[in-house]
Structure 1
Amino acid sequence: MSTAPRNTALWHPFADMFEVRQSQFCVTRADGVWVHDQEGRRYLDGTAGLWYANVGHGRTEIVEAAAAQMRTLDAYFVFNDFTNPAAEALADRLAQLAPMPDAKIFLTTGGGEAIDTAAKLARQYWAQRGQPQRTHILSRGNAYHGTNGMGTSIGGIEVNQAGFGQLVPDTSRVAFDDADSLREAIERLGADRVAAFFAEPVMGAGGLHPPRPGYLEAVAKICAEHDVLFVADSVICGFGRVGTWFGVERWGLQPDMITFAKGVTSGYLPLGGVVTSARVAEPFWEHPGRVFRHGATYSGHPTVAAAALANLDILEREKLLQRADELERPLHETLVQFADHPAVGEVRGGTGLLGAVELAPEVLDADPGAVGRAQRAIREHGVIVRPLAKALAVSPPLIITESEIGMIGEAMRAGLDAVAAG
């Protein structure tokens, strides 16, 4: 393991800084599916960063597009009537790719801001429709919707809410895999109080759970029957991760809103946003004086928009959405081979280019730090995977080859063997 030569002043997210402050894993460069540490050793990036490097690292087309834009118009805002060509071009392109007709695009600087935007917009939509009491937002147990105020409040990972005091009110969770629990919650609360239901197509940080057959279609129907806005959180699932532009098309869904980030720029620059249906946009776009008083300083940032456009070009030109479809089965088969491993409790995946290996309950009971230990052991064998609460997640760049997927399997086996050996 590479160790940085200094006691860091950098406070790492989701980190035990007592442990991390003098023992960081320092990444110095990246290319393709590989990242390199400061000692010159390379590692297969089995997580595409934090689920985002869909086109891989070191794509000069994106770098050059951003540099060219900075030479012309580096940065400017899009508040009020201000705009810029790059932001307009990106919004038009995303609207054309969206599964909802006449979609509108609200740009942010990341997924957390996108979630807060969608949640506030859902509540404001009902206020504009003369139903201001519709403020309650439903989401799912195990859900992860970022760490901003609203995202923390509607998240379903309890440890991520602990210690922060009272969060945003009028939110509650339903079972993550049972559509009937959504119907029961809406009927219990009263549909006239519920603004929206948020759901990830494939649940990511909460353990990587693909939806049960028919689940997403069922919750979309329930929302429609009760006139509750359906918001798909596609921050992880978008831009090829599950084989389509926004993830939801795989199930034939047309949500009222879609949140996106990560793969829209493949992480080269921070960008997120919300795709809104014509229905949600209508009160604000078709009537004067109705202002959605919300926005980020860097919304519509021209340099970031230029990077996103170049990234979308790569995804289209190299047919990487289709590539994700082709590699879905090889990745799942690579992980499924560990289902009978003594350190493994469950393997999940088979929906998109992502999967997870959950450790056995007895392993976790004996060593609560087993997931981190396994992740480090796998890294020592040249592959980076993502440690979740109980599982090891894999979500490589869409440019990965089948032989490189095999390397993930070899390193995973070595790490699991190390955990099983104690």
Structure 2
Amino acid sequence: MNAFATPGPALWSAQAHMPSVIGNQLVITRGEGNYIFTDDGRRLFDGTAGLWHTNIGHGRAEMAEVAAEQMRTLETYHVFGRFLNDRAVELAEKIASISPIAEPKIILNSGGSDSIDVALKLARRYWQLRGRSEKTMILSRDLAYHGLHAYGTSVAGLDFNREGYGTDSLVPETARFDTYDIEKVRQTVAEIGPHRIAALIAEPIQGTGGVIPPAPGYLEGLQQIADEHDILLILDEVITGFGRTGHWFAADRYQLHPHIVTMAKGISSGYSAVGGIIVAPEVWAPFYETGAPMYRHGTTYSGHATSAALALKNLEIIEREGLLGRVQELETVLTAELAALSSDDRIAETRVAGLLGGIQLRPEFSAEAVTDDMVAQGWIARPLRGNVIQLSPPFTTTDDELRGFVAAAVSSLDTVAASSSTPELAVAR
């Protein structure tokens, strides 16, 4: 063993403070329906759908069969230059048919962070092609999360994701605007100068920031600002896309007409690594004209044939099983269950939008401690910024499972409160 060797596996975990997680890691070996299983035999309800993505549940045999058949036929072929593969073409056509943007073009890649990079590069490239060289600024919301590639890191509204790299923004010319108050957004746009702004990017419902639905009129206000000032509106639907709000896209739920939509996660329910963007005609058309320059995008696995086949089957299952309507039903259940917690003095606020829920605890009670206890009891939740417990199970969750999930959060909060050093906090309800 060398001087730098540490305990634990060779794998460096993502988004983890390694000294804290070593010795406390869970190794997941199997998934079935709404549950996952660990190497030491525990069965856990997947209350976060992995990272917001396991919409159709785990271990679907028909998904495995589709992957095997596609690999036997053609595992993949790239979509660079004049080459295409049939599954990528079919997936793009399917996405276009359910898109909130009419007559779109689809760029496919490998995930959400990829989609943010390609979208923000396209926004800047578009304005350069239009002869508006001053339009380079990318504005994003406070508390926003847009992945961790260079552009996503640069536009993060969670400051800790931008810290420690020697500069405030890895990619220059980015700025943040208010998450709640549309008038403050207008003020920021005016101060920077609309003539300098290439795009506004926003999650319709903020996820990692703490499950924050939009304030009334806020998204409509962003749309108006973009339309009034010739700014591109980019919706980050990596979490909300493909049914999480009870609609194919949150843009449909909130009746928005963005120029670009980023997507990933729910497009395949995690059965393959797929992401991409949906592009409006206004933005793609200049690149399709005779004499137009090339928009230089693409990764090796853009339009990966097996991943596209899995995404297509996933979307078929969502349609066949009526899971968009099921999400709407589950939203009603989740809303009622969280409303019943309004008298609990330990809880600062609860929030719901679609099958996205958050329980924000008062500072005296640690969401991390509560979610750790929930895992010990067989329920996976996740602590988010703002001392929030994330609730976002698969679309296949039953009403009883959802009620049990919320009850487990309260039970674990009881356990954490009982261990508090301040007696009055332990019994506050």
Distance 2:335 2:55 in 1: 18
Give the Å deviation of 1:315. 0.6
Where does residue 403 of structure 2 map in the other structure?
406
Contact 2:87 2:309 survives alignment (8 Å): yes
Question: Of the candidates 355, 365, 381, which is equivalent to residue 357 of structure 2?
Answer: 355
Amino acid at match of 2:162: Q
1:138-287 matches, cutoff 5 A:
138-166=139-167, 167-287=170-290
Calculate the aligned-residue CA RMSD, in Å. Answer: 1.2
> For 1:356-397, what per-residue CA distance to the aligned partner results, in whole angstroms no more than 9, with x for missing partners?
11110233xxxxxx2221111111121101111211101000
> For 1:220-268, what per-residue CA distance to the aligned partner results, in whole angstroms no more than 9, with x for missing partners?
0111011100000000001110011122100111100000000000011
Contact 1:381 1:414 survives alignment (8 Å): no
Distance 1:146 1:412 in 2: 27
Amino acid at match of 1:8: P
Distance 2:338 2:84 in 1: 47
SS of the residue aligned with 1:195? Answer: strand
- Is 1:378 matched with 2:374? yes
SS of the residue aligned with 2:302? Answer: coil
SS of the residue aligned with 1:305? Answer: helix
Where does residue 367 of structure 1 map in the other structure?
none
Gaps of 5+ in 1: 1-5, 364-369
> For 1:262-309, what per-residue CA distance to the aligned partner results, in whole angstroms no more than 9, with x for missing partners?
000001111100000011101111233410112211101001000000
Where does residue 304 of structure 1 map in the other structure?
307
Contact 2:349 2:360 survives alignment (8 Å): yes
Query: TM (normalized to structure 2)?
Result: 0.93
Greater CA deviation, 57-66 or 112-121?
57-66
Amino acid at match of 2:374: I
Moved over 2 A (4+): 286-289, 335-343
Distance 1:60 1:182 in 2: 47
Question: Of the candidates 343, 347, 350, which is equivalent to residue 344 of structure 1?
Answer: 347
Gaps of 5+ in 2: 1-6, 421-429
Identity of aligned residues (%): 45
Distance 1:251 1:127 in 2: 30
Distance 2:163 2:374 in 1: 30
The number of equivalent residue pairs is 410
SS of the residue aligned with 1:419? Answer: helix
Distance 1:415 1:288 in 2: 63
Give the Å deviation of 1:340. 3.1
Distance 1:202 1:164 in 2: 28
Where does residue 417 of structure 2 map in the other structure?
420
